[in-house]
Amino acid sequence: MGRTVGLVTIGQSPRPDLIEEYELALPGARLVQAGALDDLSEAEILALAPGAGDDVLVSRLRTGREVRLARRHLEPRIQSCLDQLSRDADLCILLCTGEFPAVRPRGPVLVPRRVLHHVVAAAVEGLGGAGRGEARLGVLIPDPAQQAAAESR
């Protein structure tokens, strides 16, 4: 019997644009999804838009439409998704590279931000040998409002 993996998106589930890759990477696993915006109306989602000084995150709705969201509004909703999925899932995977310091998982959770930090550090270290000069790293971000935070990381 395969394991159950919970996939948590900061937008709405299901995420058919992502699920195929996880099915290929995790053969035999039962994948369950939850989204921080699953139970919200269009008007409620628009109310989560970032204001001045908010950390901006970008996700997709079921319709495929992209939305900009303030991180502070998402943390309790992500916590709720993780709480819900951790009852049945052997592992949860957060489908966002944002930072959510207020979230306290109740079980094992793969947090891409932490993984990426180490992968990038290892890759850049491998580039900087004698005579090679300074290593460069290209970073793609979905929204210009994320540039300052991406540069500081």
Tokens of 82: 């993780």
Supply the pLDDT for residue 126: 66
Residue 149 or residue 86, greater confidence: 86
Supply the pLDDT for residue 106: 87
Confidence of residue 25 (pLDDT cuts 50, 70, 90): very high
Q: Is the pLDDT of residue 134 over 60?
A: yes
Q: Rounded to two decimals, what is the model's pTM?
A: 0.81
Q: Dump pLDDT digits (tens) for 78-133.
A: 999 999 999 999 999 999 988 898 999 889 999 888 887 777 777 777 666 545 55
Render 18-64 in DSSP notation, one character per residue. Answer: HHHHHHHHSTTPEEEEEETTTT--HHHHHTT---TTPPEEEEE-TTS
Confidence of residue 153 (pLDDT cuts 50, 70, 90): low
126: left (phi > 0), else alpha (psi -120 to 50), else beta?
alpha
Tokens of 130: 């004698």
Supply the pLDDT for residue 59: 92
